[in-house]
């Protein structure tokens, strides 16, 4: 190859190697064949998946667990469109993922050639940026720019659409090390005046709350959050995706807030006189009814994306910048506030409204997840699907370490948990990685059992099987007079036998007395993937709960005795 001009595909792979890419998660096909061919001689390991959606979630899980971008390679048409769900997931949760999509030859663009899809247009709303390359000479520049854009500022997915003639033809362009994007600015340190204003508000607050989101995870702001909380004597709450940014076992931490957050976290937010969002975006599952959200509280908002300012909540002080850098400038300027009465009140709420679940009446999902936290000692990387199991895992599996909690928040993507765990396990081979899935979501990407088995990954998957789409059933019970529709998953396979058919070790939990033993056995098994199926009671509900569109004061902590009105907000 020394005296031969590389093809566009070979140049692309060389660019990826220069970016430090370890793995490509992909599924081959005609328009992408030159790229797959170039991978044969590469140091990059191809992880051949069973569906392109799985590839996108694996890359996402790898990126969230490591902080490094995940890379996907698919072919044109349906191959590319099968990644759209994964792109939406990554975009909503600010995850750096690069999707390389093969495309029909340039001369056939727009002519409905075989397996042609306008993937650039289709994905326009779910990527941070995209490229359609019509000249191989653009490959080195576009690749460098894609990695820069995906990983800087507010991270997000970037798509590169690659016509087959571009990757098959020669590419003489040199590598590119520097990017020149005049219209792309990344805030870092916040404005000094705004930081002084925030410090003054926080120092004078009697009932402050620090509200931590995924931006704090991304910027590794956790230690700074703890220092600020200890200096102010202020409680901390976190979003679903903010878990692990600041140690959830810290005495000042009240856990997750929002629709299924702890009652004491929501009580604190509802009664605070100052709330500071740190890398969080005032999601509707956090605020509930906006008109009644923290009406009399001063609001401070730190976010690296200025587009978030005023989108949901108008803050008194908005600071554009990296969460960690802003906090490090803010902390020396705040004074210790008089918050003893406030902290006493928060502790009273903690004691009055603890998380609890029934110990009788069959195997409870909450018990299984409570024990999972004990067995893993809070040190495992945990990924989840979406639904009741996700909320119970968030409540009972307290996270103490950054990047150890991986869940689809904004998009709420069923099928995310298991492939995300595969990506996380590849990125963190020395960590114990558990996927917590529902029986509905697991079946959407269960074919990736083959991917885990082939690579002998010691990833563990806990399927909480209640034979229902449990969260929807809960809503139908509470708000739709228990008129169940489209939620009974009759026809579920025997998940243990299914896993064994893929050559995966599998176990079943039926009794509460078996939970700890079987989870411990799975935790210790490192010879390959392991599936644990917990056959839990069919009808159980997640509490606390704030009905969608209701104010935080409308939170319910147990099943109401009377039928509730239909919620006005989104799910």
Count other C-beta atoms under 10 Å from residue 561's C-beta. Answer: 5
DSSP string, 171-219: --PPP--S---TT-----SPPHHHHHHHHHHHHH-SSEEEEE-HHHHHT
Query: Taking a C-beta distance cutoff of 8 angstroms, is the pair 167, 7 a contact?
Result: yes
Smallest CA-to-CA distance from 209 within 412, 106, 349 is with 349
Helix (H), strand (E) at residue 419: helix 417-427
Secondary structure (3-state) at 283: coil
Query: Taking a C-beta distance cutoff of 8 angstroms, is the pair 59, 95 a contact?
Result: no
Q: Cα–Cα distances in Å, from 123 out to 50, 80, 119, 127, 332?
A: 22, 9, 6, 6, 44
DSSP for residue 563: P
Tokens of 325: 């850098």
Q: Is 114 a catalytic residue?
A: yes
Q: Please give the span between the terminal C-alpha atoms of the chain, in angstroms, as a whole number.
A: 55
Can you point out the beta strands (E) in 333-402? 381-384
Catalytic choice (11, 128, 164, 371): 164
Catalytic choice (471, 545, 555, 564): 471
- Report how far residue 45's alpha carbon sits from residue 43's, in angstroms, rounded to the nearest whole number: 6
Q: Is 479 a catalytic residue?
A: no
Q: Cα–Cα distances in Å, from 521 out to 20, 438, 516, 525, 532?
A: 36, 21, 9, 6, 10
Catalytic choice (52, 308, 448, 477): 52
Q: Is 115 a catalytic residue?
A: yes
- Report how far residue 172's alpha carbon sits from residue 491's, in angstroms, rounded to the nearest whole number: 56
Catalytic choice (45, 114, 356, 559): 114
Catalytic choice (22, 108, 115, 374): 115
Smallest CA-to-CA distance from 218 within 86, 402, 19 is with 402
Q: Cα–Cα distances in Å, from 6 out to 24, 34, 39, 267?
A: 20, 12, 13, 62
Q: Is 52 a catalytic residue?
A: yes
Q: Which residues are catalytic?
A: 52, 114-115, 164, 471
């Amino acid at each position: 190859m020394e005296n031969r001009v590389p093809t566009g595909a070979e140049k692309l792979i060389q660019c990826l190697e220069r970016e430090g890419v370890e793995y490509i998660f992909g599924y081959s096909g005609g328009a992408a064949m030159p790229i797959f061919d170039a991978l044969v001689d590469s140091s990059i390991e191809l992880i051949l998946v069973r569906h392109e959606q799985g590839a996108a979630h694996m890359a996402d899980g790898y990126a969230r667990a490591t902080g490094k971008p995940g890379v996907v390679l698919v072919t044109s048409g349906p191959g590319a469109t099968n990644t759209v769900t994964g792109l939406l997931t990554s975009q909503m949760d600010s995850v750096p993922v690069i999707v390389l999509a093969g495309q029909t030859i340039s001369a056939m663009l727009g002519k409905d050639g075989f397996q042609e899809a306008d993937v650039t247009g289709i994905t326009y709303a779910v990527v941070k940026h995209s490229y359609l390359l019509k000249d191989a000479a653009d490959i080195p520049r576009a690749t460098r720019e894609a990695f820069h854009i995906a990983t800087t500022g507010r991270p997000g997915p970037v798509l590169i659409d690659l016509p087959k003639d571009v990757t098959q033809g020669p590419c003489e362009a040199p590598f590119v090390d520097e990017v020149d994007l005049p219209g792309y600015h990344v805030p870092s340190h916040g404005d000094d005046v705004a930081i002084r204003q925030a410090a003054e508000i926080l120092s004078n607050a009697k009932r402050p709350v620090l509200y931590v989101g995924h931006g704090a995870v991304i910027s590794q702001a956790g230690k700074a959050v703890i220092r600020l909380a200890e200096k102010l004597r202020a409680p901390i709450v976190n979003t679903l995706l903010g878990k692990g940014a600041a140690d959830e076992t810290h005495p000042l931490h009240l856990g997750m807030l929002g629709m299924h957050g702890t009652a004491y976290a929501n009580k604190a937010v509802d009664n605070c006189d100052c709330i500071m969002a740190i890398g969080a975006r005032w999601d509707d599952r956090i605020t509930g009814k906006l008109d009644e959200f923290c009406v009399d509280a001063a609001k401070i908002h730190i976010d690296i994306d200025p587009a978030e300012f005023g989108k949901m909540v108008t803050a008194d002080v908005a600071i554009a910048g990296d969460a960690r850098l802003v906090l490090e400038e803010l902390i020396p300027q705040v004074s210790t506030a008089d918050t003893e009465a406030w902290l006493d009140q928060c502790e009273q709420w903690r004691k009055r409204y603890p998380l609890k679940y029934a110990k009788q009446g069959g195997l409870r999902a909450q018990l299984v997840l409570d024990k999972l936290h004990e067995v893993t000692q809070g040190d495992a990387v945990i990924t989840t699907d979406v639904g009741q199991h996700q909320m119970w895992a968030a409540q009972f599996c307290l996270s103490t370490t950054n990047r150890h909690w991986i869940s689809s928040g904004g998009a709420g993507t069923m099928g995310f948990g298991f492939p995300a765990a595969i990506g996380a396990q590849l990125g963190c081979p020395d960590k114990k990685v558990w996927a917590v899935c529902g029986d509905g979501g697991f079946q959407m990407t269960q074919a990736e059992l083959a991917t885990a088995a082939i690579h002998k990954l010691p990833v563990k998957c806990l399927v909480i099987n209640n034979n229902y789409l449990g969260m929807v059933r809960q809503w139908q019970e509470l708000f739709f007079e228990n008129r169940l529709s489209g939620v009974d998953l009759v026809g579920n396979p025997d998940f243990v036998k299914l896993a064994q058919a893929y050559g995966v070790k599998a176990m079943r939990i039926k009794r509460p007395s078996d939970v700890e033993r079987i989870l411990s056995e799975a935790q210790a098994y490192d010879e390959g993937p392991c599936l644990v199926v917990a056959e839990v009671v069919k009808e159980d509900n997640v509490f606390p709960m704030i009905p969608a569109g209701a104010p935080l004061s409308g939170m319910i902590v147990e099943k109401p005795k009377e039928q509730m009105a239909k919620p006005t907000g989104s799910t």
